[in-house]
Structure 1
Amino acid sequence: MVDANNAMAGDSANAVPANGPANPVSAIRSGLEPQLLVHEEKEVFRGGDDASFTVIEATVSAPGNDEETYPILFAQVRGGQPSAVCVAVRDGKLLLAQHWRIATNSFEWEFPRAMGEAGEIASATAERELLDEAGVHATGRRLLQMIHADTCKLRDSVAVVEVTVDPAEDAGIPRTTESTFAWLRPEEIDQMIADGGIMDGITLASYMIWKAHRAEA
């Protein structure tokens, strides 16, 4: 295991290979030898929905033991096209939407998000979703970070995008009647999280990223 503290302190002998990246944080992500060798990948299921939900089976082995292989299953949507989550900011407040989610059989508070379209950049996906879902126009946008929703079972990339909204704008009438919108102060969202009112992992991660970038400003 890489000692992250040593790596961050510049302990290149322990964390950065001679031919690896100079940035110690990058070394933590990319400077290690893979623990599995992938011999083959094949599609074992593809859904007929708009998401093109796909299950892929990878045949893998441990390094130095190619004869003993085993399968690992993971999923992706829309062929791995990046999706986007929209952190909409208006006059210091953030927009949350409440949806009924069949997977959890419950209402969930979330940041608006959408799967990307072919050829569409992620920040444009976030801006489009804000308009489609809440009827709100963006006045600016900023890509904060790319994340993976589940590094074990999902081959995906999710763009966390901060979208600024004019204070005169409000969440309009949604395209469906299945959504509820709320502009909330960060302190209110903090309390919702403490009370267990926000359980969506992408929303929780995106909020943490947004707060980290706000602290840097």
Structure 2
Amino acid sequence: MSEWTVHGSRTIYTSPWVELDLVDVEPPGHPRYEHHLVKWAPVAATVLLNDRDEVLLMWRHRFATQTWNWEIPSGIVEAGEDLTVAAAREVLEETGYQIDPRRLVPLAYNQPIGGMSNAEHHVFLGRDAVHVTEPVDAHEADRIEWIPLDRIHEMIDRREIVAGVAVTGLLQLLARRCAY
């Protein structure tokens, strides 16, 4: 099978966080049509692991899905910002913990909605977090807690952790636990 042909696109909505385009595409052997494309800035996220094999999670509500769940610190990478710097910034803003971006280790990468979005999630592993302040973005989480890593599988099974970037990063850490 060959690649789809893109004949052009037009933006129908844009904001600082998201852009929605209609793209004139032609799949091989099929007629042309307009396909929605949602464009996002990259997301940087961090799984923070302490010396007791606990991960730092944030309990939060997501209005779009009407769910409460545990998540890892994550957010949009600003234009021109280094991925690790963005990941460390988000940790500080959302949790009040400081980490050294130079010590972050790539943990996972995914494209969560590849069929209709350019979204990219970059997940890093962080250690040696130091609590230095209260979260700047206090609205980001109802609670922030260190959760034992051996509870993560059951929490995912019970749908207490459902955010794709968190599930991806945490499962990758569990799968390669000996390597980290």
State the TM-score, normalized to the length of structure 2.
0.86
Contact conserved, 1:46 with 1:54, CA < 8 A, in 2? yes
Listed one character per residue, the Cα deviations across residues 137-175 of structure 1 (whole Å, up to 9, x for unaligned) are 114211223211211222121111111124xx3485322
Deviation readout 1:183-211 (Å, 9 max, x if unpaired): 11111222211222112122111212222
Could you tell me how far apart the structure 2 residues matched to 1:191 and 1:173 are?
29
Q: String of CA shifts for 1:103-123, please: whole Å, max 9, x gaps.
A: 012322111101001111111
Change (3 A) 1:215 1:56: farther
Q: What is the SS of the residue equivalent to 2:64?
A: coil
Contact 1:87 1:160 in 2 (8 A): yes
The one of 147, 158, 161 equivalent to 2:124 is 161
Partner of 1:90: 50
Aligned to 2:5: 37
Check the 8 A contact 2:98/2:131 in 1, yes or no: no
TM-score normalised per structure 1: 0.73
**1:190 alignment partner, one of 150, 153, 173:** 153
| 1:3-40 alpha-carbon deviations (Å, 9 max, x no partner) | xxxxxxxxxxxxxxxxxxxxxxxxxxxxx632x21111
The code of the aligned residue for 1:90 comes to N
Q: Is the contact made by 2:152 and 2:170 (CA closer than 8 Å) also made in structure 1?
A: no
Structure 2, unaligned runs of 5 or more: none
**Paired residue for 2:173?**
210
Aligned length: 175
Matching residue within 68, 73, 85 for 1:124? 85
Q: Secondary structure at the match of 2:104?
A: strand
Residue 133 of structure 1 is matched in structure 2 by 94
- For 1:42 and 1:178, locate their aligned partners in 2 and report how far apart those are by CA, in whole Å: 33
Instruction: Indicate if the aligned counterparts of 1:144 and 1:213 stay in contact, CA closer than 8 A.
Output: no
Code of the aligned partner of 1:38: V
Decide which structure has greater strand share. Answer: 2
Residues 108, 168 of structure 2: 8 Å contact kept: no
Q: Which gives a bigger RCO, structure 1 or 2 (Cα 8 Å, sep 6+)? A: 2
1:6 is matched with: none
Runs of at least 4 residues of structure 1 off by over 6 A?
Answer: none
1:109: which partner in 2?
70
Structure showing greater Rg:
1
The question of whether the paired residues in 2 share the 8 Å contact of 1:123 and 1:159 is answered with: no
Across the aligned residues of Structure 1 and Structure 2, the Cα RMSD in angstroms comes to 2.0
Identical-residue share of aligned pairs (%):
23
Q: What letter matches 2:164 in structure 1?
A: G
Runs (5+) with no aligned partner, structure 1: 1-31
Tell me if the contact between 2:106 and 2:124 (Cα under 8 Å) persists in the aligned partners.
yes
